[in-house]
Structure 1
Amino acid sequence: MKKSLIALSSMLMLGGTAHAQKVAFEEYDLANGLHVILHNDSSAPVVITSVMYHVGAKDEQPDRTGFAHFFEHLLFEGTENIKRGEWFKIVTSNGGVNNANTTEDRTYYYEVFPSNNLELGLWMESERMLHPVINQIGVDTQNEVVKEEKRLRYDNSPYGQLIPQVKKYMFTKHPYRWTTIGSMEHLDAAKLEEFQAFNKKFYIPNNAVLIVAGDINNPTQTKQWIEKYFGSIPKGPAIVRQTFVEDPITQPINATFEDSNIQKPMVVAAYRTPSMKTRDARVLDFISTYLSDGKSSKLYKKIVDDKKMALQIGAFSYNQEDYGTYILYGMPQGEFTSKDLVKEIDEEIVKLQTDLISENDLQKLKNKYENQYVSGNSSVEGIADNLASYYLLYGDVNLINTEIEMYNSITREEIRTVAKKYLNPNQRLLLDYVPAKDKAENK
């Protein structure tokens, strides 16, 4: 009884926190098509100015991969009014921080300043959009930076090729088949005019959303600054995107990859899943958490703790705008093999497909996702990122407040149905990710 009361108390507190965290925002469009979203939060004297462009690795040509990620670096090189090498100096000297990141679907830039420097942040992002300097010096410099990043994150990192290898087999038609960092050979072969054309096509106001979040002292003044700095930027031609439809996976895919950076083998099971915008994708998130989120999860407790068959076990949903991938992985130990782990994993999946999970387990999942919802909206940086993503990728800004309702409405029956629909042996890749033979022989 005492445990029940404590659990009930925790749920009420969490629910109250989630409700209190409802994000208020205002949105409108400039004449050039730039979508603007404002979120006022005066709890701290900071403000974030961010721009998300609807361009990612999937918008590249097969022989020119890596452009979107390259631009994440290139557009810090400087503008007509910000000299080369001065961008970061301006930010830090005014008490700010900034960064950028790229996915298959979008590119995101942001600055966080003390709120009295809001105008500076808006000016800098408008400079990036209107006046970027894209010259050979910048391209050559960032080419070396990207090459070093690829060496660190992919080429010389243990298990760094896991996602690239999975993508290669999951997608044969869609641009998701290549990595965001792309091919160094493609970047080396590209001419300056190609980079300039890529910028002209995608980094335009009608392919972007501007977020101002935080301590907006004067909303009227903020709107005037936005119009002043962004309103005159020319609207670009509408971007026509090709639709890529993958054939269903109906036969098991078996593959092996040798990695010279590892000593322990890993087995990977991957399933192609629907767009992150779908309800099924949210149900798969629940399934991933149920199976492998934390040491109390089904797979970890069974395979690592109880049977001691693996050093590590895990699962995650790799969610994207057009398709997703559900990835399970495990590292066998002792006398156990990858086949042993797959057998144990499949047994748990069959249970999901056959039986309903307990009401208690379902409530635990809902509690975790409410907690994630609160955490995701606990900072202006998180709110700004969420506002931009929900507008640009999901087409509904208010999901920042309502998506949690979708998770809370997921039923045990849905979990069983979705597991049956997507997690079948004939619909997956089984990848043996093993040490390179020469390394294993020299061990």
Structure 2
Amino acid sequence: MRIRLLAVLGALTLAACGNGTDGPPADDPNTTDTGTQTGGAMDSGIEIDVSYHTLDNGLRVVLSEDHTIPTATVAVYYGVGFRNEPQGRTGFAHLFEHLMFQGSENLPGGEFDQLIYNSGGVNNGSTRFDFTNYYEVVPSNALQAILWAEADRMARPIIDQESLDNQRDVVTNEVLVNVLNQPYGGWIWIDLPMLAFENWHNAHNFYGDLSDLQAARLEDAQTFFDNYYSPSNAVVVVAGDIDPAATLEWVESYFGDIPAGNPLPEIDVTEPRQEEEKFGVNPDPLAPQPALAFGYQMPDRGTPEYYAMAVLDQLLVQGNDSLLRQELVVEEGYTSDVFGGINLLGNIYNYNGPMLWTVGMIHGSENSREQIMTSVDTVIERVRTEEITDEELSRALTKLRSDFYGIVDSGTRFGLVDLLAAFALFDDDPSRINRIEEGFDQVTPELVLATAQEYLRPTNRSILEVVPAPSQQAGEEEDAQ
């Protein structure tokens, strides 16, 4: 996965420099009509400027004006992620993300990247459960050129055998380096969902089985593009030092003539209610110590119980004062750290399907799974049998608001465009960003108790151990002797 590299831009003071290219063609904006939605906000909550438009080809456009930093953040989100890839082609969504970085008809090879870098900006992208994104942060005077470039990539990407072979090798190397040759590998973010879920779309190796990656054909890549990479399945977000009217004209001009695309393939990603606890063991010759992870299936996103689970997440595993950390690290000394959360590949807002609330730890070999889970159950059963106090609820809500503001208020504005894109893709309502706190405001101790009783029951839990194992090479050497 292309890992974010934008942290260095928190203090972006990029000079107003030339964009290093002749830029986009000076076409007249076409006359596509748009529907417009303006977001509101609670009087006492966050207030983000949001305008929302839909082009005739189905492309959703979100604009957010903010002149505090002289940069613009552009993001193009496609509603395709790990869940959408076809059976027998695990890792294909991630592979295709790489393919889209190979350039476009008017910007072949590395010219797309050079356009960004010569402008003084950065770009990246990623594949997640329910979307693939591409984004850039550039000085605001380079915005028009970047919109033209993204439109060219959407309309005319380079998808050929040479690019496929090249990027298949790149992704294969990523799998080897990041998973197969790493201690603990994809234990908590790949293997645990595969244990917990029943539906293949939620329960497969989305980083990619090597045999599936090698079997990917050029026809598969073209079909995947035709199915998912179209304006009707995409959102363009532009946030920052922009003129909204001029920006919308550019988006209409460059994206408006791209065909809407085919109707999306129908995929059922629903999960049955889990009725019994699941267990799994991963032998790992690279692991120096045992590890343990457990996950509970989440309530549907956006429901009252979803917000209550976010509160439980804060109480149980987030921060030094969390109940599981106090029990497992401070009191029992099983481990030096407990980590976890909702949607480990993103945040609690940017997914749209079945999800786990997950907890993990690496622990000493003298402590068994049964011993550790007995202590875990002591904590879990407390929140399942007793209402949390008003003080605990208030503390959890304060931490949630702090996390939310931290996502939105970054120097790159990437957290902001991420949420705007997710709410447009999944809810057709990017102004929901200004109402997120309303959901948390409705959480009560009674709701937290009822949610814990249903979703933190043992029969909704999956437990995965990592057990250090002798390496195959060591076994072969012993056999040779």
Q: Does TM, scored on the shorter chain, surpass 0.5?
A: yes
C-alpha distance 269-20 of structure 1, shift in aligned 2 (>3 A): closer
AA aligned to 1:346 is D
Shift of 1:221: 2.0
CA deviation digits over 1:187-243, x for unaligned, max 9?
211221110111111110010011111111x33222221111011111112214222
Counterpart Cα distance in 2 of 1:184 and 1:230: 36
Structure 1 runs not aligned, ≥5 long: 1-16
AA aligned to 2:414 is E
CA deviation digits over 1:313-353, x for unaligned, max 9?
23322264121112223333374322111001101111101
Which residue number in structure 1 is paired with residue 197 of structure 2? 171
Which residue number in structure 1 is paired with residue 220 of structure 2? 194
User: Is residue 413 from structure 1 mapped to residue 446 from structure 2 by the alignment?
Assistant: yes
Shift of 1:19: 4.7
Which residue number in structure 2 is paired with residue 4 of structure 1? none
Shift of 1:44: 1.1
Which residue number in structure 2 is paired with residue 130 of structure 1? 155
Query: SS of the residue aligned with 2:355?
Result: strand
8 Å Cα contact 2:299/2:455 also seen in 1 = no
Matches within 5 A, 1:49-128: 49-128=74-153
Which residue number in structure 2 is paired with residue 152 of structure 1? 177
8 Å Cα contact 1:126/1:230 also seen in 2 = yes
8 Å Cα contact 2:270/2:354 also seen in 1 = no
C-alpha distance 171-302 of structure 1, shift in aligned 2 (>3 A): closer
User: Is residue 210 from structure 1 mapped to residue 236 from structure 2 by the alignment?
Assistant: yes
C-alpha distance 250-269 of structure 1, shift in aligned 2 (>3 A): same
8 Å Cα contact 1:309/1:334 also seen in 2 = no
User: Is residue 348 from structure 1 mapped to residue 379 from structure 2 by the alignment?
Assistant: yes
Counterpart Cα distance in 2 of 1:358 and 1:410: 12
Structure 2 runs not aligned, ≥5 long: 1-41, 476-481
Shift of 1:21: 4.1
CA deviation digits over 1:363-415, x for unaligned, max 9?
11111111112111113222111100111123321221111221132111111
Which one is further off, 248-257 or 361-370? Answer: 248-257
Which residue number in structure 1 is paired with residue 399 of structure 2? 368
8 Å Cα contact 1:268/1:432 also seen in 2 = yes
CA deviation digits over 1:124-173, x for unaligned, max 9?
11011001010111111111111111122211222223122212121222
AA aligned to 2:214 is D
8 Å Cα contact 1:310/1:330 also seen in 2 = yes
CA deviation digits over 1:44-87, x for unaligned, max 9?
11001211000111111111122211121111101110121222
C-alpha distance 184-407 of structure 1, shift in aligned 2 (>3 A): same
8 Å Cα contact 1:273/1:324 also seen in 2 = yes
Counterpart Cα distance in 1 of 2:122 and 2:49: 25
User: Is residue 393 from structure 1 mapped to residue 426 from structure 2 by the alignment?
Assistant: yes
Which residue number in structure 1 is paired with residue 280 of structure 2? 255
8 Å Cα contact 2:290/2:365 also seen in 1 = no
Instruction: Choose the corresponding residue for 2:73, options 22, 42, 48.
Output: 48
8 Å Cα contact 1:270/1:327 also seen in 2 = yes
Which residue number in structure 2 is paired with residue 241 of structure 1? 266
Which residue number in structure 2 is paired with residue 14 of structure 1? none
8 Å Cα contact 1:277/1:394 also seen in 2 = no
Instruction: Choose the corresponding residue for 1:427, options 442, 451, 460.
Output: 460
Which residue number in structure 2 is paired with residue 13 of structure 1? none
Q: Indicate the RMSD between aligned Cα atoms, in angstroms.
A: 2.1
Query: SS of the residue aligned with 2:107?
Result: coil
Shift of 1:20: 7.0
Identity %: 31
TM-score (norm. length: structure 2): 0.84
Which residue number in structure 2 is paired with residue 273 of structure 1? 298
Which residue number in structure 2 is paired with residue 383 of structure 1? 416
Count of residues paired in the alignment: 425
Which residue number in structure 1 is paired with residue 14 of structure 2? none
User: Is residue 326 from structure 1 mapped to residue 352 from structure 2 by the alignment?
Assistant: no
TM-score (norm. length: structure 1): 0.91
